Amino acid sequence: MSFQDLKHFNLNGCQKFTDNGVEAIALASPKLKYLSIYWNVRITDQSIKHLVKNCNDIVSLNLSGCKNITDQSLYLLANHYKEIKHLNLTRCVKLTDDGLMQLLDNCRSIEDLNLYADSSFTDKSYEKMSNLSELRILDLCGAQYLSDQGLLSIAKCRKLVSLNLTWCVCVTDVGVKSIARNCPFLEFLSLFGILGVSDSSLETFSKFCSDKLTTLDVNGCINIKRRSKSELLELFPKLTCFKVHS
């Protein structure tokens, strides 16, 4: 198979790769659909410019750890990859609400969105997630400015299967219960480190998600008292993996 027909390219850990290398790949592989560039601090917005200019079919992009990516890249993605389905922006620390809101307004086919350790976003962005009717996997670990208001909008993503709210310290039972009531297909849920969540949230999840939830992390949720294996299995009989505080 020639580079002309290449659809998958994995550059994970290739830390010497630069924007020039991405340009060469984009020029040689116009049919590219899946590109992963994990942990490369040399990659900049210029790489995304090369991609959108030469590769029209990108549906999956992993930019995890590419710390020099800015909102300019999100504007480019929003304008050129409206059908993108999988996007990993883990630790892209220069991104702001402006770029993410543009992305969420235009790329409404996203099914898997990873914003792990992107702590600067606020509810202005999270409220836009209600646009993502196909969203199934959402990682918001470390979203320190996410509040119940943002969760009320995220709860409109009714197809959610996996939700990571680890260290989302501003949310409470109010927002978490809205997820429980509106996202009946949840299989994976992490509430790690959220002090504002209590047994009341677990009871609500049990009412709406007990037949689906297999993985639950409530470690550090000191207001959750139903912590024993038997108590959790009573609420969630399908649990196969769970973590609780001692």
pLDDT in tens, 141-190: 999 999 999 999 999 999 999 999 999 999 999 999 999 999 999 999 99
Give residue 84's pLDDT band: very low, low, confident or very high (50, 70, 90). very high
pLDDT over 60 at 1, yes or no: no
The stretch 43-53 carries a mean pLDDT of 98
pLDDT over 60 at 246, yes or no: no
Gap between the Cα atoms of 107 and 83, Å rounded:
6
pLDDT over 90 at 2, yes or no: no
pLDDT over 70 at 245, yes or no: no
Gap between the Cα atoms of 96 and 86, Å rounded:
19
Cβ within 8 Å of residue 149, ≥6 positions away: 123, 127, 175
Give the tens place of pLDDT for each residue, 208-232. 999 999 999 999 999 998 778 889 9
The stretch 76-99 carries a mean pLDDT of 98
Domain spanning 35-45+60-243, CATH architecture: Alpha-Beta Horseshoe (3.80)
**pLDDT score recorded for residue 242:** 84
- Amino acid of residue 75: Y
Output the CA torsion 172→123→52→20 (10° steps). -80
Cβ count near 4 (within 10 Å): 9
Gap between the Cα atoms of 182 and 159, Å rounded:
9
The stretch 56-66 carries a mean pLDDT of 98
Q: Mean pLDDT over all residues of the chain?
A: 96
pTM for the whole thing?
Answer: 0.97
**pLDDT score recorded for residue 123:** 98
pLDDT over 90 at 193, yes or no: yes
Is residue 84 within 8 A of residue 60, CB to CB? The reply is yes
